[in-house]
């Protein structure tokens, strides 16, 4: 599936879309990038005069790139109709190592652990523009879909 098509099918829009580009998506992995803008809504008040990206937003960025984009790929490959796809995170476990500041670009890399019974589980890692590990963890999501007949 074309990467731009997956990107267009992500069920998010500004200000809650945290994917700028998808670099690769297949049955086993996903990789993409996002640049955090200075004007992001969550920087207001998140450490006065020293904005830092909240961990929950870093987790969401990892989920959008590493879980949802791969889930869309897998669903479409399996013959699903994606007009009414619903994807919900069912569990997350993340460890954080470095802060992410406004204007930083991050790269998320995800490896599939399993996809069965409409549940996708992935190991995700986020790197900053210097290639340093920002956070890593395990994300799971449930996928609800309609099957083409």
Catalytic residue among 20, 33, 46, 102: 46
- The secondary element (H helix, E strand) that includes residue 147 is strand 133-147
Active site residue 46: yes
Residue 89 corresponds to which tokens in the numbers above?
């995170």
User: Contact, 57 vs 96, CB < 8 A?
Assistant: no
Q: What is the DSSP string of 68-109?
A: IHHHHHHHHHTTEEEEEEEEEEEEEEEEE-S---TT-EEEEE
Alpha carbon distances (Å) from 25 to 1, 43, 62, 73, 98: 8, 30, 14, 7, 26
Q: What residues act catalytically? A: 46
């Amino acid at each position: 599936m074309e990467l731009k098509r997956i990107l267009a099918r992500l069920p998010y829009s500004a200000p809650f879309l945290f994917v700028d580009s998808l670099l690769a998506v297949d049955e086993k992995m996903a990789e993409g990038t996002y640049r955090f803008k200075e004007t992001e809504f969550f920087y207001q008040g998140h450490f006065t005069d020293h904005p830092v990206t909240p961990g929950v937003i870093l987790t969401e960025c990892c989920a959008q790139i590493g879980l949802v984009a791969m889930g869309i790929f897998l669903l479409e490959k399996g013959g699903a109709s994606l007009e009414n796809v619903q994807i919900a995170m069912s569990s997350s476990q993340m460890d954080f190592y470095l802060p992410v500041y406004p204007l930083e670009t991050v790269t998320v890399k995800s490896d599939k652990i399993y996809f069965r019974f409409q549940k996708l589980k992935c190991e995700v890692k986020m790197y900053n523009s210097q290639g340093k590990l920002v956070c890593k963890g395990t994300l799971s999501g449930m996928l609800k879909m309609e099957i083409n007949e």
